[in-house]
Amino acid sequence: MSGELIIQAVISGLLMGLIYALVAVGLSLIFGLMEIVNFAHGEFLMLAMFTTFWFWALASLDPLLSLPLVAIILALAGILVHFGIIRRLLKAPMLAQVCGTFGLGVALRAGAQFLWTPDFRTITNPLIAGRVQIGPIFIGQPQLITGGICLLSFVALWWFVTRTETGLGLQATAQDRQAAAVMGIPTERMSALGWAIGLGCVGIAGSMLSTFYYIFPEVGVNFALLAFVAVALGGFGSILGSLVAGVLIGLVESLGGLLLDPSYKTLIVFGLYLAVVIVRPHGLFGRF
Amino acid sequence: MSSNQTDMLEAARAERLWPRPPLWVAALGAAAIALLLAYPFIFKASFSHHLMILILLYALMAQSWNVVAGLSGQISLGQAIFFGIGAYSSTVLFTKYAITPWAGLLVGMLLSALAAVAIGVPTLRLRGHYFAIATLLIGSSVQIVFQRWDWVGAASGLYVPIDRTSPLFYLQFHTSKVPYYYLALGAAAAGYLVVWKLRRSRFGFRLQALRDEPDAAASLGIAIARHKVLAFMISGAMMSVAGTFYGQYVLVLDPERLFSMEISIIVLLMTVLGGSGTLWGPALGAAILVPLSEYSRIWFGGTGRTIDLILYGILILLVCMWRPSGILSLLEERIRRRTGTP
Amino acid sequence: MSLLLDVKGLTKRYGGLTANAEMTFDVNEGEIVGIIGPNGAGKSTLFDLITGFQPPDAGRVLLDGRDITGLRPDRISRLGVARTFQKLKPFPDLTVTENVIVGALARTSDMKTARDQALESLAFVDLLEKRNHFARELSTGQRKRLELARGLAMSPRLILMDEVTGGVDQRTIAGLIELVLELKHRGLTIVTIEHNMQVIMRLADRILALHAGRRIAFGTPEQVRSEPAVVDAYLGTIDDAA
């Protein structure tokens, strides 16, 4: 087991982990605001990837250029989902909330399969294609740039939530909805904003992911599961937690795949989830 | 205590413990039983037998989800685990050790109950969402494991060797589906009888209590963890029975189909649609969705399965948004209010 | 009178906040002990600590000489300790009778016996009319009585009541007072958290006064009433506050 292989695995795990983190933070935000776990989260990632693909295939728009478009589209979808679906679900018992978003995910997944067949698709030769070489280590340029954009997104999100008035309103709503409402914060709009940001992040992640990952209807399933693990590990409601946990999971998955049978790497991550929620139900940084 | 209360108390005590259902319900029930018993002789086509067999099996499976989620409030998204265990247990025992599937049935139930304990003890103490996610993960993991486990045929799965010599012993019937029908009917009836008794028992009451208000339940002497695990075990065993029968019915097993998320999704939908927590909700859900699915397969061919799922997903979402307690809840509520029958 | 409940030095901290500090008091069999204190004084937390819903950081709880500190709540209930909750928790999808049956099932596994026991409890709290209604349809006052009936159906030795008279009208309060006195008459030991001073003065044999998680007085109503720390905490005498 050469050192190079290990470093290679660490780097690719880190980069992948940043993607997991960005996907996870959306979940975390939504749960922090209204205690709903979005079981359709992975499907929105899949939709972001397909949207990017069709922009590329039909309008010859490079993913890097369509990135802001996809992010906005997903953000708008988030607002739609909130007002159209989630508002109703909030009044229902937890069983209905879980099953509801779960059903949405199933429908989206099957819908994608119906519309676009289960075929795998790729975006060939995006603008950012290529490899970067650092010593004996090769890093795919799409992966590198994706990692960078994810990190940037986190910084932007962090800045927004902690330094702007709206962001503080989000925090307040997440911590105590009634108190926030009494202080004049439009909690309903904050919830919608949460969905917009959450799915917007997924839009960014999906858009960049499609530059080097296969695009197919089931792609969201595994990412969602990993995102659940990340949020549970990092703590529901914690942005920093999602970042740390996402990266950690990327590393565990990558190194696990290297040191053990690659087909079992998902099992390792799942084992991590169980260990975390049982031993430390609130996760590393979480409140729930 | 006022004398008013004393009089009422006398009257209340004299009431039956489990009041009689209204006459129309009893009549309907009797008609349904007669119909079910005579079904294969009224509808002679093999397809109609196939349809009913599926409805009965799914009714049993949906009821199993009802036990763990409807009655005890634990949202399991991985019921397929037990279905697969049931199918594989009997098949492995038969193909490798020539043990009759009847024994395999019992072994499957036992293994499923044990699996329920192994999964449930660490995870049932988690909050609802965490438990649901855990079942998703474990379900996925089990599927992966079986896809790589050579002893049970890995991804290609197992075939149940066809033996026409002793159908009852080998639980295979090749001339007609009718015996399968009555076996499925028996299994479903047994399952529903168990749940019917359960809901009127101390255990059943305590399950519903811990579903609704775990703190209050604990303050009334209910051991929460133990009850949840037991409910999970019963649910797993029921699922396992369905799995064994299914294995003997289709005679072909593979991890892709048996541990599929689709099964976990369907049993959820059937119960939620029909009425989670009610006795007949799961059966109603099965009766609606199985024909829907089978006919869509006929009309749309291969894409039928995808269209199924789109429909299922949308249906679940709509039911959860507009009537989360399901179709039957309204009816049962009214009956219960008048007569006090659970 | 023998000692039924003995609480020694019970302490609970949440990070920087001390919810209960060195709580010590005792309850004799057959008496009524009232617990008073401003909001946030740690009263409900105390109940949680005693009944096992939260583990204490320090201290012991003895029930009839037996150490029950840190036991699971269901174990403690089975030892004969019932409680009501400030935030009412009826089982919404069960009928009133079924709710109380759940309580009765702590003592018997026979459904008929449980049902009869439940009906008796309901008669006692004057709720028989509503017995076939779903619990979610009851008014606040009725829910309080339901919660009481449910706990009583367990045939407990000790019942901890959390703000039984909170949010109900004067007429209902009078009825509840009679109810509690009748319970005492039947030999039940009662510890009750109360805000309503008139109620406490009528019911309690002894009073425990809390402030900021600490015990500031424990004794007969007369003793507690004149205790300077209590007067301070309530910004006036107890007669004024009533």
Q: Quick check: B78 and B136 in contact, CB under 8 A?
A: yes
Residue C236, pLDDT score: 54
Please check the confidence at residue B39 and state whether its pLDDT lies above 70: yes
Neighbours of C, requiring at least 3 CB pairs below 8 Å, are B
Residue A277 included in any domain = no
Please give the average per-residue pLDDT across A50-72, as a whole number: 93
Which helix (H) or strand (E) segment holds residue C147: the answer is helix C140-152
The token pair at A92 is 């229902």
Q: Quick check: B37 and B181 in contact, CB under 8 A?
A: no
Q: How far is A125 from chain B (nearest CA, A)?
A: 32
Region for A61 from its dihedrals, namely left if φ exceeds 0, alpha if ψ lies in -120 to 50, beta otherwise: beta
Query: In terms of Cα–Cα distance, which of B215, B246, B236 is closest to B111?
Result: B236
Which helix (H) or strand (E) segment holds residue B317: the answer is helix B304-322
Q: Which residue of B has its CA nearest to C153?
A: B220
Residue B338, pLDDT score: 62
- Average pLDDT value over all residues in chain C: 89
Does C119 contact B12 at a Cβ distance shorter than 8 Å?
yes
**Angle, nearest 10°, between helix axes B202-212 and B178-199?**
70
Query: In terms of Cα–Cα distance, which of B76, B222, B184, B210 is closest to B135?
Result: B76
Q: How far is A112 from chain B (nearest CA, A)?
A: 9
Residue B130, pLDDT score: 85
DSSP codes of every residue in B92-160:
HHHHHH---HHHHHHHHHHHHHHHHHHHHHHHTTS-HHHHHHHHHHHHHHHHHHHHH-GGGTGGG-EEP
The token pair at A258 is 């290297």
Confidence of residue C242 (pLDDT cuts 50, 70, 90): very low
Q: Which residue of C has its CA nearest to B71?
A: C93
Residue A241 included in any domain = no
What percent of chain A has a predicted confidence (pLDDT) above 90? 52
Neighbours of A, requiring at least 3 CB pairs below 8 Å, are B
Please give the average per-residue pLDDT across A77-100, as a whole number: 91
State pLDDT tens for residues B240-259: 999 999 999 998 998 988 99
Does B309 contact A109 at a Cβ distance shorter than 8 Å?
yes
Please check the confidence at residue B135 and state whether its pLDDT lies above 60: yes
The token pair at A33 is 């605001």
Q: Quick check: A127 and A142 in contact, CB under 8 A?
A: no
How many contacts does A have with B, using Cβ atoms within 8 A?
A: 130
Q: Give the CA distances from residue A180 to residues A79, A239, B16, B21, B321, in Å, rounded to whole numbers and listed in that order.
A: 20, 20, 52, 50, 26
Give the least confident one: B51-65, B288-302, B309-323, C43-57: B288-302
Rounded to the nearest angstrom, the gap between the alpha carbon of residue A98 and the centroid of all alpha carbons in its chain is 18
Q: Please list every residue in chain C whose beta carbon sits closer than 8 Å to the beta carbon of residue B206.
A: 102, 105
What is the number of H-type helices and E-type strands within chain B? Answer: 16, 2
First and final C-alpha spacing in chain C: 30
Higher pLDDT, A183 or C1: A183
* Mutation for A interface: B127, B129, B211, most A CBs within 10 A: B129
Which helix (H) or strand (E) segment holds residue C28: the answer is strand C17-28
Confidence of residue A129 (pLDDT cuts 50, 70, 90): confident
Give the span between the Cα atoms of A63 and A54, in whole angstroms: 10
Residue A283 included in any domain = no
Q: Please list every residue in chain B whose beta carbon sits closer than 8 Å to the beta carbon of residue C92.
A: 212
Q: Please list every residue in chain C whose beta carbon sits closer than 8 Å to the beta carbon of residue B339.
A: 132
Does A92 contact B313 at a Cβ distance shorter than 8 Å?
no
DSSP codes of every residue in B226-287:
HHHHHHHHHHHHHHHHHHHHHHHHH-EE-HHHHT-HHHHHHHHHHHHHH-TTSSSHHHHHHH
* Mutation for A interface: B266, B306, B329, most A CBs within 10 A: B306
B155 interfaces chain A, CB cutoff of 8 Å: no
Please check the confidence at residue B337 and state whether its pLDDT lies above 70: no
State pLDDT tens for residues B85-97: 999 999 999 988 9
Please check the confidence at residue B169 and state whether its pLDDT lies above 90: no
Q: Is B232 exposed, middle or buried (0-12, 13-18, 19+ CB in 10 A)?
A: buried
Q: Point out the residue among B5, B9, B342 whose CB comes nearest to the CB of C98.
A: B342
Give the span between the Cα atoms of A153 and C71, in whole angstroms: 48
DSSP codes of every residue in A32-92:
HHH----TTHHHHHHHHHHHHHHHHHHH---HHHHHHHHHHHHHHHHHHHIIIIIHHHTTS
State pLDDT tens for residues C43-63: 989 999 999 999 999 999 999
State pLDDT tens for residues A218-229: 999 989 989 988
Does A114 contact B307 at a Cβ distance shorter than 8 Å?
yes
With tokens 């260990």, the residue in question is A275
Domains of chain C: 1-79+189-242 (3.40.50.300)
Give the span between the Cα atoms of C57 and B180, in whole angstroms: 61
Please give the average per-residue pLDDT across B164-177, as a whole number: 77
Give the span between the Cα atoms of B324 and B316, in whole angstroms: 9
Give the span between the Cα atoms of B123 and B119, in whole angstroms: 6
Q: Please list every residue in chain A whose beta carbon sits closer than 8 Å to the beta carbon of residue B141.
A: 266-267, 270
* Mutation for B interface: C54, C76, C83, C91, most B CBs within 10 A: C91
Q: Give the CA distances from residue B27 to residues B21, B22, B32, B34, B185, in Å, rounded to whole numbers and listed in that order.
A: 10, 9, 9, 11, 20
Residue A265, pLDDT score: 76
Q: Please list every residue in chain B whose beta carbon sits closer than 8 Å to the beta carbon of residue C102.
A: 205-206, 209, 217, 220, 222
Q: Which residue of B has its CA nearest to A279?
A: B122
Residue B296, pLDDT score: 80
Does B141 contact A98 at a Cβ distance shorter than 8 Å?
no
First and final C-alpha spacing in chain B: 29
Please check the confidence at residue B1 and state whether its pLDDT lies above 60: no
* Mutation for B interface: A86, A98, A268, most B CBs within 10 A: A98
Q: Quick check: C207 and C217 in contact, CB under 8 A?
A: yes
B126 interfaces chain A, CB cutoff of 8 Å: yes
Phi and psi at residue A35, in whole multiples of 5°? 55, 35
Q: Which residue of B has its CA nearest to C136?
A: B212
SS3 C179: helix
The token pair at C191 is 């510890």
Q: Please list every residue in chain C whose beta carbon sits closer than 8 Å to the beta carbon of residue B218.
A: 53, 72-74, 77
Q: Please list every residue in chain B whose beta carbon sits closer than 8 Å to the beta carbon of residue C74.
A: 217-224
The dihedral over CA atoms of B286, B287, B289, B290, expressed in degrees to the nearest 10, equals 90
Residue A93, pLDDT score: 86
State pLDDT tens for residues C223-235: 888 888 887 776 5
Query: In terms of Cα–Cα distance, which of B295, B303, B285 is closest to B59?
Result: B285
Q: How far is B249 from chain A (nearest CA, A)?
A: 27
Please check the confidence at residue B185 and state whether its pLDDT lies above 50: yes
Q: Please list every residue in chain B whose beta carbon sits closer than 8 Å to the beta carbon of residue A114.
A: 303, 306-307, 310
Give the span between the Cα atoms of A226 and A267, in whole angstroms: 11
Please give the average per-residue pLDDT across C27-31, as a whole number: 94
Q: Please list every residue in chain B whose beta carbon sits closer than 8 Å to the beta carbon of residue C124.
A: 1, 5
Does B269 contact A94 at a Cβ distance shorter than 8 Å?
no
Which helix (H) or strand (E) segment holds residue C209: the answer is strand C206-211
- List beta partners, residue C206: C33
Q: Which residue of B has its CA nearest to A89?
A: B321
Region for C211 from its dihedrals, namely left if φ exceeds 0, alpha if ψ lies in -120 to 50, beta otherwise: beta
Confidence of residue C239 (pLDDT cuts 50, 70, 90): low
Confidence of residue B339 (pLDDT cuts 50, 70, 90): low
Residue B84, pLDDT score: 95
Could you say which residues from 1 to 40 on chain B have a Cβ atom under 8 Å away from some Cβ of chain C? 1-2, 5-6, 8-9, 12-13, 17
**What residue spans of chain A are helical by DSSP H?**
3-34, 41-59, 63-81, 87-89, 94-116, 141-163, 165-175, 177-182, 187-209, 219-234, 239-259, 265-279
Task: Note down the domain range covering A163.
Answer: 7-128+141-217
Neighbours of B, requiring at least 3 CB pairs below 8 Å, are A, C
Please check the confidence at residue C24 and state whether its pLDDT lies above 50: yes
Please give the average per-residue pLDDT across A33-42, as a whole number: 92
Give the span between the Cα atoms of C95 and B107, in whole angstroms: 39
Please check the confidence at residue A21 and state whether its pLDDT lies above 90: yes
Residue A234 included in any domain = no
* Mutation for B interface: A85, A99, A104, A231, most B CBs within 10 A: A99
Give the least confident one: B44-48, B181-185, B334-338, C180-184: B334-338
What percent of chain B has a predicted confidence (pLDDT) above 70? 96
Q: Point out the residue among A98, A228, A278 whose CB comes nearest to the CB of B75.
A: A98
Residue B81 CB contacts under 8 Å (≥ 6 apart), including other chains? B115, B119, B135, B138, B139, B142, B236, B259
Does A114 contact B276 at a Cβ distance shorter than 8 Å?
no
Q: How far is B324 from chain C (nearest CA, A)?
A: 13
Q: Please list every residue in chain B whose beta carbon sits closer than 8 Å to the beta carbon of residue A288.
A: 127
Please check the confidence at residue B322 and state whether its pLDDT lies above 60: yes
Amino acid at A106: V
Q: Point out the residue among A37, A92, A266 whose CB comes nearest to the CB of B320.
A: A92
Residue C173, pLDDT score: 84
**Which long-range contacts (C-beta less than 8 Å, at least 24 apart) are formed by B42-49?**
B46/B176, B46/B177, B49/B176, B49/B177, B49/B178, B49/B180, B49/B181
Does B310 contact A110 at a Cβ distance shorter than 8 Å?
yes
The token pair at A285 is 């940084």
* Mutation for A interface: B145, B317, B323, B329, most A CBs within 10 A: B317
Residue C241, pLDDT score: 47
Does B9 contact C93 at a Cβ distance shorter than 8 Å?
no
Q: How far is C62 from chain B (nearest CA, A)?
A: 18
How many contacts does B have with C, using Cβ atoms within 8 A?
A: 115
Give the span between the Cα atoms of B63 and B236, in whole angstroms: 11
The total number of structural domains in chain A stands at 1
Please check the confidence at residue A275 and state whether its pLDDT lies above 50: yes
State pLDDT tens for residues C77-106: 999 999 999 889 999 989 999 999 999 999
Strands B252-253 and C81-83 come out as unpaired
- List beta partners, residue C61: C7
SS3 C191: strand
Residue A256 CB contacts under 8 Å (≥ 6 apart), including other chains? A264, A265, A268, A269
